[in-house]
Amino acid sequence: MIDNTFTLISRIDGEIRRFIAEELAGDGITDIVPSQGAIILELMKHGQMPMNELAHDIDRTPQTVTHLIKKLVKAGYVETRKAPEDNRVTMAVLTEAGIHLADALCHISEKIYDLQYNGIKEDEIVVLRGALAQMYANFTGSAGRSD
C-alpha cells in the first residue's frame, strides 16, 4: 500500500516554516530560522537554562544547540554565562531583544494554531495529536512517553 502521510506531514512542516518566516519578516525580524525559535520559546518559559537541559527540552544534540545559541548570541537575542554554582555549566538567557522576539513568536504560534485547526472539531484534534504522538513514538522507540 502506498501512503502519502509522510508527504503530507512534510508539506505541512514546510508551510508552517514559510508562514513563520513571513510573519517574522513582517515584524522586521529576518535574522533567525524556525529551529532557533524553539530555543527562544524554551528560554521564555523557563528563564535562564543550562545548555544541556535546553538541548534535552527541544530534542536536539548539545552540539546543535551550541551552534544555534552562538548564532542567537551574535544576533543579540541570547546571552550566555557560567552558572554561579558550577563553572562547568553554561547558562543561556534571553536579552531584551530576545524577549521581544519571544513575544512575536508566541503571537505567531497562536496564528498557526488557529490556522492549522481551522475547520477541525476538538475531538478530531485530540485523535490527530494522539496518532501523531504514537507515530513519533514508533520511530523513536519512546512508546509510552507522553511528551
Give Cα separations from 38 to 54, 65, 69, 97, 111 (angstroms).
9, 10, 11, 16, 16
3-state secondary structure of 33: coil
107: CATH: 1.10.10.10
Would you say residue 108 lies in a domain? Answer: yes
Residues 67, 57, 146, 108, CA torsion sign = negative
Would you say residue 147 lies in a domain? Answer: no
Interstrand relation of 49-50 and 86-94 (parallel, antiparallel or unpaired):
antiparallel
Residue 66 lies in domain: 5-116
Would you say residue 105 lies in a domain? Answer: yes
Would you say residue 87 lies in a domain? Answer: yes
Would you say residue 129 lies in a domain? Answer: no
Would you say residue 53 lies in a domain? Answer: yes
Count: domains in the chain: 1
Task: Write the burial class of residue 112 (CB in 10 Å: 0-12 exposed, 13-18 middle, 19+ buried).
Answer: middle
DSSP conformation letters of 53-103: HHHHHTT--HHHHHHHHHHHHHHTSEEEEEETTEEEEEEEEE-HHHHHHHH
CA–CA distance, 136 with 134 (Å, rounded to integer): 5
Element (H, E) at 41: helix 34-46
Would you say residue 124 lies in a domain? Answer: no
pTM: 0.80
- The pLDDT tens digits along the chain (147 residues) read 788 899 999 999 999 999 999 999 998 888 888 789 999 999 999 989 999 999 999 989 999 999 999 999 999 999 999 998 899 999 999 999 999 999 999 999 999 999 999 999 999 999 999 999 999 899 988 765 444
Would you say residue 104 lies in a domain? Answer: yes
